[in-house]
Amino acid sequence: MDVEMLKSLASFDTEYCADSLEFCPYGNTRRFLVGTYQLLTSDNAGSSAQTEELEQEIAKPSDSRRIGRVYVCEAVEDAGEQTLRIIERQRIETSAVFDIKWSYQPVFGKQLAGVASADGLLTIYANDGSSDESLLSSFCATEEPTSDGSMCCSLDWSNRLQGGGSPSIATSHSDGSLQLLEVAESAIEVESQWQAHDLEAWTAAFDYWNPEVVYSGGDDARLKGWDRRIGLSSSTPVFNSGRHQAGVCSIQSSLHRQHMLATGSYDEHVFIWDKRNMRAPVAEHNVGGGVWRLKWHPEDACALLVGAMYNGAQILDVSQNDTRLAASFMDHASITYGADWCQSRDNPACGWLAATCSFYDHIVHLWRKQGSLPQ
């Protein structure tokens, strides 16, 4: 079956290198957050060092400084012209951003988003909706990095499918450690911290169907599982897989099928796992570029969006035991890191809106996947 080639509908220049984005899950909105990363050095102030990947950015000398921005953007459709444009609603100056994720359930009555940044901290912002120009305000943040110079590389919320109570947040860090955090009404409390990987821990993710289980991936090419119910202080995982051949960068539990898990790596492979047996993946696909981000479709259980670094963005059709390439978006001129689906579709005839962003050309693109994937 032919692969659908998708084209940009609108673009936005973030000025700093763009590496993360996520659509707001609340209401029928096309608003999304974009995180950026800029490395400043004494001999290269105001520009990005032209290195290959974020992995090498982390290894920069101590005299460098990492700055960033969080943008609040909105995809707006021009009436009558059937065209999209991206409007910047707000920008927040911050440390360089590695990851952004919304809590998909309100917390203490608030809509919250977490930002993992190069200063080693996790910052939580609240969407107060007071005006179109001031949407996010600081809510709380962790007090210190996990170790001197360590950066916060990723975060995930425990409440994607299960709301109620105070959620947990898992974070991963460049010193190889993981943290489990509890969100209180005005602070973040550290529940657990442990050494999970020998090198950078690129990603941490909850099992959305069973938030007692946390997965992690590191630059040591290990995919690990952790169970909060048996304790984390011993740093002993419930499984430790070496099936990936390079750093494990992205993990996401399926939103629709309880036992399905997707993982991605610098080795260019997406693996699909049955969580009941983690000895070997049940399906795999080489996307032709390192896999930095994986996002399951909000409604289509088979659609998996891939930020494939040097090979644009890909949409995989994932059945129970098979995976094929369904569509590609190749308009990025640089490393494709951030990717997400819009969480609502106000006009079914227009297809599903997605956004992706790329690093050195600091561009966000909007594009659509028409219809649904074939069954």
What does the angle CA 138 – CA 205 – CA 27 come to, to the nearest 5 degrees?
50
245 belongs to a structural domain: yes
- The CA distance from 367 to 166, in Å, is 35
- Provide the residue-wise pLDDT of the chain in tens; the chain has 375 residues: 689 999 999 999 999 999 999 999 998 889 999 999 999 976 655 554 444 567 666 666 555 799 999 999 999 987 755 789 999 999 999 999 999 999 999 999 999 999 999 999 999 999 976 666 668 999 999 999 999 999 999 999 999 998 777 899 999 999 999 999 999 888 999 999 999 999 999 999 999 999 999 999 999 999 999 999 988 767 799 999 999 999 999 999 999 999 999 999 999 999 999 999 999 999 999 999 999 999 999 999 999 999 999 999 999 999 867 899 999 999 999 999 999 999 987 666 678 999 999 999 999 999 998 765 544
In a domain, 361, yes or no: yes
Q: Are 17 and 35 in contact, with CB atoms under 8 Å apart?
A: no
Claim: this prediction has a pTM higher than 0.85: yes
Residue 242, domain member (yes or no)? yes
CB 337 within 8 A of CB 292: yes
Domain-located, residue 374: no
With beta carbons less than 8 A apart as the criterion, state whether 24 and 33 touch.
yes
Please report whether residue 125 resides in a domain: yes
User: Residue 196 contacts by C-beta under 8 Å, 6 or more apart in sequence?
Assistant: 172, 176, 177, 178, 216, 218, 224, 226, 235, 237
Pairing of strands 152-157, 31-40: unpaired
Element (H, E) at 65: strand 65-78
Task: Let me know if residue 205 belongs to a domain.
Answer: yes
Instruction: Look up tokens 């809590």; give the residue.
Output: 103
What count of Cα atoms within 13 Å lies in the side-chain half-sphere of residue 139?
24
Domain that holds residue 110: 4-369
What confidence score (pLDDT) does residue 290 get? 98
Q: Say if 31 falls within a structural domain.
A: yes
pLDDT at 77: 85
Report the CATH number that the domain containing residue 99 is assigned in CATH. Answer: 2.130.10.10
Does residue 375 lie in a domain region? Answer: no
Q: What is the DSSP string of 131-193?
A: -SS--EEEEEE-SS-SSTT--EEEEEETTSS--SSPPEEEEEETTSEEEEEEE-SS-EEEEEE
Q: What pLDDT does residue 1 have?
A: 62
Torsions phi, psi of 62, nearest 5? -70, -15
Domain count, the chain: 1
